[in-house]
């Protein structure tokens, strides 16, 4: 079993490089793993919090130094938080997969709060330069046209009401003097999380259930752009600023599904479902559809440039990455032959 600093002696600091020591919680997750890859290739040293041997092996394979620990429990990992120059917090209880009823959402709310308390608690009185807290645009929730920026009045929807308490606690830590930048990724698509579920379902030829009463506008961002944006903001953003991370144009949900089916080369079968049935099947939290008309103007004003400014550019890339990752071993070799 891996414990404490089992890996630290194996970690080699790159000679001659100007490294910043980053402590990353949630580095083994969907967005976190993309961030860790970009941070390492930019030359930073990454300590990645891991609660399982599987995550530790994955993080070490990328070149990060695993630190064993669980955010729900205080422990030796907190010393690494205090010793890091920059702390990035991507960790959250799982949101995707299965039905999301109120009980599960309330457990998420309580666990997220506890995880944050343990992480921030480790920072009290430490010389950490900077902390980046990864929230989500469900906190801003329903926002009508014209596109709204970070100054909009939050109108939490979906998971949003269940991160409100965590956001209030973050503000308290900020007031207590911890420099916290808050980033709000929109719906992040790539080869993981909720989007991989849609791709797997399309690939399997399943009928896509679409809400009969509305086709919500979703702010989206490609996972690689999301990770690059967070790395960029770490260097170029205001240390205590708030930044929405989304594409240039928020698409309709139906467009995402349509373009994904096209990129996969599969026929799209859809069926409208009434809200009451969607609530029974998927649960009230994920069927709480809302329009996220959000702007990336503040992020762009820092000099950030997107590789995939809209889903037209991003979905074909995300689908290809997902296909490559989900292909049976050896399939790529045959394709290349």
Ligand X SMILES: NC(=O)c1ccc[n+]([C@@H]2O[C@H](COP(=O)([O-])OP(=O)(O)OC[C@H]3O[C@@H](n4cnc5c(N)ncnc54)[C@H](OP(=O)(O)O)[C@@H]3O)[C@@H](O)[C@H]2O)c1
Query: Which parts of this chain interact with ligand X (CB under 6 A)?
Result: 25-26, 28-32, 49, 51-52, 55, 70-72, 90-94, 115, 134, 136, 185, 187-188, 193-194
Min dist. Cβ of residue 262 to ligand X (A): 21
Instruction: List, in sequence order, the alpha helices (H) in the chain.
Output: 30-41, 53-62, 77-83, 102-121, 164-175, 193-203, 223-236, 253-264, 275-282, 297-301, 311-326, 331-336
Min dist. Cβ of residue 210 to ligand X (A): 19
Min dist. Cβ of residue 77 to ligand X (A): 9
* DSSP letters for 15-65: TT----EEEEETTTSHHHHHHHHHHHHTT-EEEEEESSHHHHHHHHHHT-E
- Write the CB contacts of 81 (distance below 8 Å, at least 6 apart in sequence): 23, 87, 119, 122, 123, 126, 128
Min dist. Cβ of residue 24 to ligand X (A): 9
How big is the chain by its Cα radius of gyration, in Å?
A: 20
Closer Cβ to ligand X, 147 or 335, answer by number: 147
Min dist. Cβ of residue 328 to ligand X (A): 24
Closer Cβ to ligand X, 147 or 226, answer by number: 226
Phi-psi category of 153—alpha, beta or left, where left has phi over 0 and alpha has psi -120 to 50?
A: beta
Closer Cβ to ligand X, 41 or 52, answer by number: 52
Closer Cβ to ligand X, 4 or 274, answer by number: 4
Residue with smallest beta-carbon separation from ligand X = 29
Closer Cβ to ligand X, 35 or 304, answer by number: 35
For residue 195, give the nearest of 130, 258, 260 by alpha carbon. 260
Closer Cβ to ligand X, 136 or 314, answer by number: 136
The helices-and-strands tally (H runs, E runs) of the chain is 12, 13
Min dist. Cβ of residue 52 to ligand X (A): 5
């Amino acid at each position: 079993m891996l414990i404490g600093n089992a890996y630290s002696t194996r970690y080699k600091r790159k000679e001659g490089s100007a490294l910043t020591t980053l402590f990353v919680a949630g580095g083994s997750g969907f967005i976190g793993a993309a961030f860790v890859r970009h941070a390492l290739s930019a030359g930073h040293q990454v300590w990645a919090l891991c609660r399982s041997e599987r995550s530790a092996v994955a993080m070490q394979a990328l070149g990060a130094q695993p630190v064993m620990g669980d955010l729900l429990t205080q422990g030796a990992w907190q010393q690494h938080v205090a010793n890091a120059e920059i702390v990035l917090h991507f960790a959250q209880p799982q949101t995707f997969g299965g039905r999301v009823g109120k009980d599960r959402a309330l457990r998420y709310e309580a666990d997220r709060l506890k995880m944050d308390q343990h992480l921030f608690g480790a920072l009290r009185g430490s010389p950490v330069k900077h902390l980046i807290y990864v929230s989500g645009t469900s906190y801003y929730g329903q926002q009508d046209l014209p596109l709204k920026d970070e100054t909009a009045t939050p109108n939490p929807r979906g998971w949003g009401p269940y991160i409100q308490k965590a956001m209030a606690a973050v503000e308290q830590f900020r007031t207590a003097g911890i420099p916290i930048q808050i980033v709000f990724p929109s719906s992040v698509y790539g080869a993981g999380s909720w989007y991989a579920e849609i791709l797997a379902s399309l690939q399997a030829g399943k009928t896509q259930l679409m809400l009969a009463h509305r086709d919500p506008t979703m702010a989206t961002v490609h996972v690689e752009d999301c990770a690059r944006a967070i790395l960029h903001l770490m260097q170029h953003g205001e240390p205590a600023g708030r930044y929405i991370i989304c594409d240039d144009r928020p698409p309709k949900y139906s467009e995402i599904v349509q373009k994904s089916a096209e990129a996969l080369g599969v026929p799209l079968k859809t069926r409208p479902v009434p809200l009451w049935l969607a609530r029974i099947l998927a649960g009230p939290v994920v069927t709480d559809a809302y329009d996220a008309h959000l702007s990336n103007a503040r992020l762009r004003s820092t000099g950030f440039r997107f590789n995939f400014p809209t889903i037209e550019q991003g979905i074909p890339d995300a689908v290809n990455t997902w296909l490559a990752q989900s292909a049976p071993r050896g399939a790529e070799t045959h394709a290349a032959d």
